[in-house]
A and B are shown apart, each in its own frame.
Chain A
Amino acid sequence: MKLHTIQLKINDEQQTVTVRSGDTLLYTIRKQLGLTGAKPGCLNGDCGACTIHVDGWPMKSCLMMAVEGEGKQITTIEGLKDTPIQQAFVQHFAFQCGYCTPGFIMNGHSLLQKKPDADDSTIKEWLESNICRCTSYSEIEKAIKFALEKNKSS
């Protein structure tokens, strides 16, 4: 089995890891770096629980190989501190079990940065890639819209 030693820049820290060619980024950040905020939900690109940021854009980390992460800016939920979207999720009860939450927050946070003027259809386009089984989604919608508003006014 071929192993590669690579450099990953995660949450503004340089990390050296040795990985197999077949290791996904999700597997590597969880297993080797102990960043367990990104969750395995399907390992197949269907649920969004593993969403992280790669160069500021949301990416399903189960669909990316660890070796592809070299030279990229990677951010996981552990890299977000008290952002408007996190606050909004707390205030609006936008989670219950919390398992889908890191994925939704990463997706939402990126939306705030990339599409500050997002309308309903853009929000839907972005968020329909994630599944939440506990909430009714209306709580998540409220949280996202609240954060977008706040973002605009600040």
Chain B
Amino acid sequence: MSPHDKSISLMEYALGQDQLDKIEKILLSELVASGVHCVLLIDFAGNIIAKGDNANSRIDVYSLAALSAANFGAVEAMAKIVGQEEFALLFHKGETESLYFSKVNEELLIITVFGKKISLGLLRMKVADVVDKIRRIWKTGS
């Protein structure tokens, strides 16, 4: 047997409507409702799996997803170079908008865009909670 994929088996990677509904509900009720401007669940290829945002959000989510996947990959590679499995906190602070990245599992990453209404400490707790829930949903799906 060759170690290579012979074909691209898409179904392995399709999430059901049920799971996506659940995930999007969680993103909305736990993050957007707490003042997060936009949250994306993406894979490391840069695909958007699920998203939640408030009505005013005008963010270019496709570019943000592509850049975040690449950036996260680059930071992970840097961690390996200095002998670390990963860096714990990935956070970029801006004047009015900030970004927070959190790894869900080997496939998924959460990006949160938030402003001054919510503190980083509270946000981290909420995201950790959401990550936990998504992990459980993801498991039951695959």
| A and B interact physically | no
B-binding residues in A (CB < 8 A): none
Q: Which B residues contact A (CB, under 8 angstroms)?
A: none
